[in-house]
Chains A and B, each alone.
Chain A
Amino acid sequence: MLNREEWLPLARKLDWDYTYVREDEVFPQVISGHPWLPHAEWKDWEESFKTSYREYVDNQYEKDMAVYAVRDAIGRLENIQKLAAPWLNSLKVHAAALPLAEFTGVIGSLRGARFGRDSAWRTMSTFGALDEYRHTQIPLLLFHPLVRWDSQFDWAHKFYHTNNWFAVAARHFFDELTTGQNAIEFAIGTNFVLETGFTNLQFVGLASLARESSDHMFERMVTSIQTDEARHAQIGHPVLEVMMKHDPEYVQYLLDKWFWRSWRMFSILTGLSTDYLTALEQRPYSFKEFMEEWIIDQYLRTLDEFGLKKPWYWDIFEDELNIYHHAIYASAYTYRATLWFDFVIPSPAERKWLRQKYPKYWDDMDAVWEQVAERWRTVGPGAANELAVHGSAMPTFCDLCQLPLSAGTPRKNTANVLTKDGRKYIFCSAPCRWIFLREPERYANHKDLVKRVLSGEAPAHLPDLLTEYFRLTPDTWGKDVYHGAYEWLATKKASVA
């Protein structure tokens, strides 16, 4: 009988020559991806961490048992109810955005499992699909039962099945990244850029915020997921190595595109949690500091390792680190009824902290918060006054990322209009416009929310839009956690200089 070191290489490298069909019929370019190369070019594909199916099942079983044990020990409702109210809303954001996004990762991984160009790649993708299925189930298991206590947790299941504006943006992102993607672009966009680059935000940064917030169940959940991500993320590197020999310009494009698209999504998911929905005394760092330490340094080192350049938009990206998620949060606060979780106004102490962490543009953001606070002072606190401190005009959205036109700075918004083939499009930023123009056939027919309203597809009247199209109710739509009843707001004008 062969020992592990002898049989594993035989089992994971099981390729053969086709005699009844051509190789390009088995692996059509449209679904295997570009560049199409004969298998001889892929045969040295090698993952750095190798596992067998039996080892995989044993490991996953142990990890699942650990998650169950944590849930039974500290995941009871009384434990959750002890968490700070703003942090609970960070949980609601992730409970909605995470599970079904991970499920689209199952589909993308299965595409790699069938159309990846080497058998070892296909084996790793099979494990990856099983991982992503686990990542769908765990947050649903932990979060959705909380709906009995708080109906906003229903969005753990509901989110992607609605036309809520953030769901439209998230679907646009994940459908392209995973569900509708060929095996090569999935390996680059998901395994290399998102899982190697950005999931550190979730699984290192967020885990540390959860620990600081005494949310050990969430901490354990993301840590458990991270151990899977670290394994299947390694699919990206060997795919990239082969592609670099044949079409480095295309590699550069895919990396630049997916870094930007991932940045847009994670700046909201993680940025809001880090800088607003975690209590000030529990914030170990700012979102920008975390990006610089855990994302940027590592990503630039990896680019350098492969002989790739920084994205052309790097200066724009670095500038956005100072402002983009702040503009999104303030915009979302003043349109909180369009979302399924609650918000807080940063207190004078938090604004002082934000000024220290983000000195470049904070004056502009502080003026916005002062105006919002002034509105609460005028109308007075209380649930009945929520909509008096809320926007009523229709917000606008980017035709590429589908997120609000909040890029640039409050002094100079960078939204730009494009007329193409008789139609008008608007983009929040130069990189979103650039991505659109590289693949207009992919994006041109997608209607953003404004165009859905203008065409009559979505209601124009805001209350109807919220209830009929976003599928919110007065109970579930977002509010101020304290309905404007902040001690600091009642006493005097905030002094945060």
Chain B
Amino acid sequence: MYMSIPLYGFLEGDTLGLLMLAEEGETVLQLARKLQDAANIRVPHSDNVDFLYDGKAIDPGLTVVQAGLQALDRFDVIRRHTL
């Protein structure tokens, strides 16, 4: 059974951070989509995004646990052209 991990998510273009409950087994790409959906009232959806943790781009296929994310960490989702 997967545990939920509370994380601080920041989407580029948004005006505030959001609390995201990530499942251990979900990929960081899925988590990025979840943040985009949650912020969609303020920021249009974009397909070309990168997931940053600790300032580094993370392989979108990695799970949250494989990426090393721990409770109350910060992650960022940014538009790819800004890399």
Contacts and interface: CB of A to CB of B under 8 A. Distances in A.
The finding on whether chains A and B are genuine partners in a shared complex, rather than unrelated, reads yes
A94 to B, nearest CB: 23
Q: Sorted from nearest, which 4 A-B pairs have the closest CB atoms?
A: A393-B38, A405-B17, A394-B19, A327-B15
A372 B8 contact: no
Contacts of B8: 396, 405, 415, 417, 426
Given A334-B41, A410-B15, 15 more contacts: A326-B15, A327-B16, A331-B42, A391-B18, A393-B38, A395-B16, A395-B19, A405-B10, A406-B17, A411-B12, A412-B12, A413-B17, A417-B8, A417-B74, A426-B17
B42 A371 contact: yes
Contacts of B13: 364, 367-368, 410-411
Contact of B72 (A334, A364, A404, A417): A417
A21 interface: no
Interface residues of A, number: 36
Interface string B65-80: 0000001111000000
A367 B20 CA distance: 23
A375 interface: yes
Contacts of B17: 395-396, 404-406, 413, 415, 426
Interface size class for chain B? Answer: 20 to 34
B73 A417 contact: yes
Contacts of B57: none
B79 to A, nearest CB: 9
Nearest to B78: A411
Contacts of B15: 326-328, 330-331, 365, 368, 406, 410
Contacts of A368: 13-15, 42-43
A330 B40 CA distance: 13
6 contacts: A326-B15, A364-B13, A396-B18, A406-B16, A410-B15, A415-B17
Interface in A370-385: 371-372, 375
B12 A393 contact: no
A330 B10 contact: no
B41 A372 contact: yes
Contacts of B71: 424
B42 A405 contact: no
B44 A371 contact: yes
A30 interface: no
A255 B44 CA distance: 41
Interface string B9-39: 0101111111110000000000000000011
A476 to B, nearest CB: 22
A366 to B, nearest CB: 11
Contacts of A396: 8, 16-19
A154 to B, nearest CB: 27
Contacts of A404: 16-17
A389 B41 CA distance: 7
Interface string B42-83: 111000000000000000000000000001111000000010
B18 A393 contact: yes
A497 interface: no
Interface centre among B10, B71, B82 (most CB of A within 10 A): B10
